[in-house]
Structures are given as structure tokens and as C-alpha cells.
Amino acid sequence: MLEPFGEEDAKFGFNSELFNGLKKGTSLVEFSSPNIAKKFHAGHLRSTIIGNFIANLKESLGNRVIRMNYLGDWGMQFGLLGAGFEQFGSQEKLNVNPLQHLFDVYVQVNKEAEHNETVQVAAREFFRKLERQDSQATSLWQQFREITVKEYRLIYERLGVPFDIYSGESFHQEQAQEVLQCLRNRGLLKTTQRGTGAVDLSEEGDMSSCATVVRSDGTSLYITRDIAAAIDRKEKFHFDEMIYVTDKSQQNHFQQLFGILRLMGHTWAESCRHVSFGLVRGMSTRKGEVVFLEDVLDEARTRMLHNMHQAKTTKEMDDPGDTAEKVGMSALIVQDFKGALESDYKFDWDRMLQAHGDTGVFLQYTHARLRSLIRSNSVIEAKEFDPALLLEDRSIVILQHLLRFDEVLYQSNRDLQPRHLVNFLTRLSHLVASALRELPVKGSPPDVAQARLRLFSGACSVLASGMRILGIKPVEKM
């Protein structure tokens, strides 16, 4: 029987000579990184799928990959959340729907704090307790963190995005103090008029600005924890490269981070890279503005299922809901990956879910058609075939296109932009669609049928491998 994802196929494009010159090593990819109790916004979704793509790509090219989620789990907002929970929180609600409840408490306490001085005092006091490692405050915070991670794990699982490590800002608050000491010892820390501490980056390229790394009360900031985290990761994981994936509003933050690391003498800062992306406008669901990742996934599934029912394609499927989920996700991913990552784009449910055109639905549809062809011709032994029988332009164009797979992966590895692969797979799908019409397998002489089947099965493997790198799970039937 034809082995659609056999050894040979799976390696197709990956053992190219092009890759001989590529250095292989350990890549640490930090992505997704939502903040506890805050909204999981479109930026976090983009970071999640882009980071997953980069990790998949690095892995498929033979690197060891560490996938890290760096949670926003520290800072003054936990003072507010803690104080808020003591006032409006409920353990019961926390157990039933933790993400929602923490978010509600956070919104409520923020509103309250705007006009209520005592809430602000309570929040500061709670955070001070946390920083002093007061056991009661710490155990509440820990509970928030654990519950959140547990929920997120489930959602990431649903997305098919695995993480090796859930780290977070909280892991590095003590090390942040060591960083400050080190900066002081090296004479890099300047006290400003406001009493804060800053590092002068004017000598580090065009960053004429100063980066504040310590508040006047001695507490650390987001960037201070990032410096500590980077040093800690280098020591623990000996990465050869580290990639951070966030929206472009943090570009300056990462340039400053890398600049400070260089000033501290960490030459490996050269191997750190920030992959930034643009904003998404108008990401909303029928419920309204998106607050949780789950809402987007549910909406994609519901809409896709609706389209499938309308097109009457669900009859043959074992689990239409599951198919709708996978296809809906691929629609989201392809829409997001089509353009340059830095560009902003407008979120559009109807357009992304179109069955024809350059959408994720179209890729899935093509894959399912190819799989169905392969399944229904499983009796044809396709291991041995005569390539000379693939004479038509339609076949040759596909063969030539398939040969470009390695080059596309090579290029993607260089600039970490998924659009090359998306374009390549979309074009492949269009070529396959015409070939399926014009190069029938059924009814052709056996040797021709066999050669064509082999061509389609090669196209199917490359399509599936490419989709998997993008973070899309190819479906069997659609």
C-alpha cells in the first residue's frame, strides 16, 4: 500500500544540500507570554502562532528547540489583584471559571482604585508583602498562577501548541537585584534626578536614550527582570540563539535589553533576536470584543461548522466538530501569515473562511482531496514508477514546484517570515487543483495511473509537511 507519510516523503526537501551550511544548535524560542488576570489579546494570539511556526521550523531543520512561555506574573498589578481578590474575590468562582473570575476581579479593582485611595494603599501594601515573601500573600498569588497555567495548558493543547517551560517574570525578581548590583559595580547605573536608576545607552548604536532599570524605592522593572531572565537562560540552556516574539510596540524594549546585555559584557547578546509583528484590527466575536483566547477558537469552530453544514460536507465525517476546529484554526493561521509580519492587518472572519482563494480552508480542502484520492487507489503499488510518464506540462510544473520546497524553508529560516511557506503551499494547491482535473488517475493505463498517483502523493506529503510547520493539522476528510 502507498505510504503517504513514509520515511522517504517525510524527509523530502529537508535533506537538501542547501542545509549543509546551516549551523545547527539549540534555539530558545520565547512566545505567547500572556499576563495573568489581563486580557489575552490579538497580540498574544499572533505571538502564539508565529512563535509556534518558528519553533516548528527550527526543529524541522534539525535544531534542538526549547519552547518557552514567559508569563506576566509579577508587578504592581498583582498588588491590585491580591487586594481586589480580598475584597471581591470568591474561591468558588475561582474554581469554576478561573480566567474569567481573575479578569473580572482585576477589572473591578482597577475601576475602584481610580477614585478610591484606600484601594491603592491596599494594593501597594499587598505587593510589598509579595516582594517580602509574606506567606499568605504568596500563597494566594501562587494559587492564581497555578490555576491560570492549568487553564492555559488546556487551551494551548487545543491549539496544538506545546511548551517545554512556563517561566515568568516572577522567577527573576531576586536575580534582578543581582543584575542591579552588577550594573552598579561596572559603573553602568546612573541615578537620575527623580531618584530612579538608569543605564545610558548612547554608545550602543542609535539608542540615544536611557533605560530605567530601578525605581526610586529599589524595586525592579519589566526590563530588569528581562535582563536577569536572559542571563539565567543562557546559563541553564546554553542556547545558540534566542528568539523573542512580541508585537512591534516592544521593539525599543528589546533593543535596550540587548544593548544592556552587551554593555555588561555578554557577547552572546548578538545571538538574541526580536521577531516583531504588527497589530490586528477588529478581532471580535459574536460575544463582542475578544477577552480570552478560547473565545476566538470557539468562534472559528462555530463559523466553520456552519459553513460546512451549508456546503453539506459533514455527512462523511467521523467528527465534524473536530474537523471544523482544525480547519477554522488553519484559516486563522493563514490569514495571519499571508503578509509581512510587521504589517498591521484587519481581521476578517468571512474572508479567511472562504473555501476558495488563498485561505487555510483551501489548503485543507486540497489536502483532503489528495488524501481521498490516495485512499481510494490504495491498491495501486506506487513505490516503483516510471517518471518518464509524467510528461504533461501540468506534471512538470508541479515537480518543479516541489523541488523548491527546500529553498523556501531556507529562506524562511533566514528571515523567519511564514509568508514564503504560505505562498508556496497556496501555489502548490492551485497547481494540484488543475492537475486533478486534467490528469485523471482512474481510467488511465495502469503505469500512467501509477506515475500520476505518485506525483499526487508527493504533492500531498509536501503540503502536509509544510502545513505542519505552519502549525496547521492537516485533515483527512473535508
Active site residues: 38, 41, 44
**Does 246 interact with ligand ARG (rule: CB under 6 A)?**
yes
Please classify residue 95 by burial: count the beta carbons closer than 10 Å to its beta carbon, then call 0-12 exposed, 13-18 middle and 19+ buried.
exposed
User: Is the CB of 246 or the CB of 307 nearer to ligand ARG?
Assistant: 246
Give buried/exposed letters for 15-51 (b at 16+ CB in 10 A, else e).
Answer: eeeebeeeeeeebbbbbbbbbbbbbbbbbbbbbbbbb
**Does 220 interact with ligand ARG (rule: CB under 6 A)?**
no
Radius of gyration of the CA atoms of the chain, in A: 26
Smallest distance from ligand ARG to CB 169, Å: 8
Smallest distance from ligand ARG to CB 231, Å: 13
**Does 224 interact with ligand ARG (rule: CB under 6 A)?**
no
Cα angle value 62/418/157 (rounded, 5°): 70
Q: Name which of 435, 429, 426 is nearest 394 in CA terms.
A: 435
Total residues found in the chain within this entry: 478
Residues 6+ apart with CB under 8 A from 279: 42, 43, 247, 248, 344
- Rule CB under 6 A: choose which of 4, 51, 72, 466 binds ligand ARG: 72
**Does 244 interact with ligand ARG (rule: CB under 6 A)?**
yes
- Dmax (CA) of the chain: 86
User: Is the CB of 264 or the CB of 399 nearer to ligand ARG?
Assistant: 264
d(CA 161, CA 12): 24
Structural element, H or E, at residue 212: strand 210-214
User: Is the CB of 33 or the CB of 52 nearer to ligand ARG?
Assistant: 33
- Give the phi and the psi of residue 285 in degrees, each rounded to 5: -120, 180
Restricting to residues 21-40, which ones interact with ligand ARG according to CB under 6 A?
Answer: 30, 33-35
Restricting to residues 42-71, which ones interact with ligand ARG according to CB under 6 A?
Answer: 70
**Does 104 interact with ligand ARG (rule: CB under 6 A)?**
no
User: Is the CB of 112 or the CB of 151 nearer to ligand ARG?
Assistant: 151
Looking only at the bridges linking them, the beta strands covering 210-214 and 241-247 are unpaired
Restricting to residues 269-308, which ones interact with ligand ARG according to CB under 6 A?
Answer: none
User: Is the CB of 40 or the CB of 126 nearer to ligand ARG?
Assistant: 40
- Give the phi and the psi of residue 245 in degrees, each rounded to 5: -120, 105
Q: Name the closest residue to ligand ARG (Cβ).
A: 72
User: Is the CB of 152 or the CB of 244 nearer to ligand ARG?
Assistant: 244
User: Is the CB of 253 or the CB of 419 nearer to ligand ARG?
Assistant: 253
139 to each of 73, 84, 149, 175, how far by Cα in Å?
14, 15, 15, 21
**Residues near ligand ARG (CB under 6 A), total:** 9
Smallest distance from ligand ARG to CB 58, Å: 18
User: Is the CB of 19 or the CB of 222 nearer to ligand ARG?
Assistant: 222
Bridge-partner residues for 280, per DSSP?
Answer: 345
Smallest distance from ligand ARG to CB 274, Å: 9
Collapsing DSSP states into helix, strand and coil, what is residue 30? strand
Looking only at the bridges linking them, the beta strands covering 280-281 and 345-346 are parallel
d(CA 219, CA 75): 10
Interface residues with ligand ARG (CB under 6 A) are 30, 33-35, 70, 72, 226, 244, 246
